[in-house]
Amino acid sequence: DEVLKLTDGRGVDRVYDPVGGDVFAQSLRCMALESRICPIGFASGTIPQIPANILLVKTIAVTGFNFGYYAGWSPHDARFEQADRVLALMDRIRGWCEAGLCRPHVDRTFPLDRVPDAMHALLERSVTGRVAIAMED
């Protein structure tokens, strides 16, 4: 409801969803006509079921993205053939971060000697944002 209110009922053009589950379903309902949604993970632990009727009525495109394809973590290792493209995109993202355009939500910060605790927090899904490791005191 809030997204539709902020967009005067139009909805959003793009959604990049790392959560899945209910968040994906809610995202579909606040999308504009001829928009795109890209599932990039399932942090909720639930892989969304995609209702084709909503895709049809709103002309929504669903495009998956597997970074592992570009990093060598998937059945097809494309990291060498895609290296120039990935480096260019990473430089663009780095620029956005340096300009303050990307502001990730850091839920918890752990000192370096507590990396196992940080991993446990991630695996237990007890954080709602990023977990950061402080390299210094």
Distance CA 60, CA 136 (A): 46
Confidence label for 28 from pLDDT (cuts 50, 70 and 90): very high
Q: What is the pTM of this model?
A: 0.68
> What is the SS3 assignment for 39?
strand
Instruction: Give the Cα-Cα-Cα angle 24, 30, 32 (nearest 5 degrees).
Output: 115
Go through the domains of the chain in sequence order and give each one's CATH number: 1-65 (3.40.50.720)
Element (H, E) at 123: helix 115-123
pLDDT of 35 reads: 97
> Tens digits of per-residue pLDDT, 77-101?
888 999 999 999 999 999 999 999 9
CB 112 within 8 A of CB 134: yes
> Tens digits of per-residue pLDDT, 55-79?
999 999 999 888 888 888 888 888 8
What DSSP string runs through 55-114?
A: HHHHT-EE----HHHHHT-SSS--TTTTHHHHHHHHHHHHHHHHTT-----EEEEEEGGG
